[in-house]
């Protein structure tokens, strides 16, 4: 049976905060020597107030080795934009913990995807709420990778299904078009590729 060699590539969009009414586009990744792959995208809120319109996140493929007039959407995700819940984390919650302490849990619900925004943006992360202890803590399904330091939790975060990149693709990129989204937001996009099989 053939075995595939797979590679986790450099992030297309490393986790970052994008200013209100702005567009963030990744660099183009050369897929010409790859046998396809998957793009993984996550979105987080950075403010709780309604944002006017959703962010349109496009995963795009190019049929050309260079130039920016040959991008075609493979997938488009449009985020929610209604008001969201937010709450500061009480103190510091250690890496490896699943209970995130907060003074109020109003607006948070089991099953919610939340964005835990750290003062160091690269230490921010996404989690899914497993249960609520009213006005004490939210418990998430998976342990935190990073300590939540000076952090704020926002609900209405989104984790999208991975997007398959066909082997015919020459280049791939991700564009987060928040031109009509009137609040700051967080975005992350990663890529894995199939490099060979034997």
**What is the pTM (predicted TM-score) of this model?**
0.94
Ramachandran angles phi, psi of 96, nearest 5° = 95, -10
SS3 state of residue 121:
helix
Short-list 100, 99, 104, 101, CA closest to 86 = 104
Q: Confidence band (pLDDT; 50, 70, 90) for 197? A: confident
Q: Which CATH architecture has domain 19-82+158-190?
A: Sandwich (2.60)
Digit-coded pLDDT (tens) for 164-188: 999 999 999 999 999 999 999 999 9
Domain positions in the chain:
19-82+158-190, 86-154
CA dihedral 57, 51, 104, 188 (to 10 degrees): 20
Give the containing element (helix H, strand E) for 133.
Answer: strand 125-133
Alpha carbon distances (Å) from 127 to 29, 51, 124, 141, 197: 28, 22, 10, 7, 34
Digit-coded pLDDT (tens) for 14-70: 999 999 999 999 999 999 999 999 999 999 999 999 999 999 999 999 999 998 889
Digit-coded pLDDT (tens) for 72-130: 999 999 999 999 999 999 999 999 999 999 999 999 999 999 999 999 999 999 999 99
Alpha carbon distances (Å) from 115 to 14, 112, 137: 15, 10, 15
């Amino acid at each position: 049976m053939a075995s595939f060699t797979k590679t986790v590539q450099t992030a297309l969009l490393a986790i970052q905060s994008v200013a209100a009414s702005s567009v963030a586009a990744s660099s183009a990744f050369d897929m010409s020597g790859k046998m396809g792959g998957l793009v993984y995208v996550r979105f987080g809120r950075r403010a709780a107030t309604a944002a006017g319109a959703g962010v349109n996140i496009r995963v795009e493929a190019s049929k050309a080795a260079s130039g920016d007039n040959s991008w075609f959407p493979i997938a488009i995700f449009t985020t929610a934009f209604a008001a969201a819940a937010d709450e500061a984390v009480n103190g510091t919650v250690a890496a490896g913990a699943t209970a995130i302490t907060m003074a109020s849990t109003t607006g948070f619900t089991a099953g919610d995807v939340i964005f835990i925004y750290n003062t160091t943006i690269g230490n921010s992360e996404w989690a899914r709420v497993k249960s609520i202890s009213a006005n004490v803590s939210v418990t998430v399904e998976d342990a935190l990778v990073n300590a939540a330091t000076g952090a704020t939790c926002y609900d209405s975060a989104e984790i999208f299904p991975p997007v398959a990149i066909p082997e015919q693709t020459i280049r791939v990129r991700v564009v987060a078009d928040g031109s009509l989204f009137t609040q700051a937001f967080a975005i992350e996009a990663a890529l894995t590729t199939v490099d060979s099989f034997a």
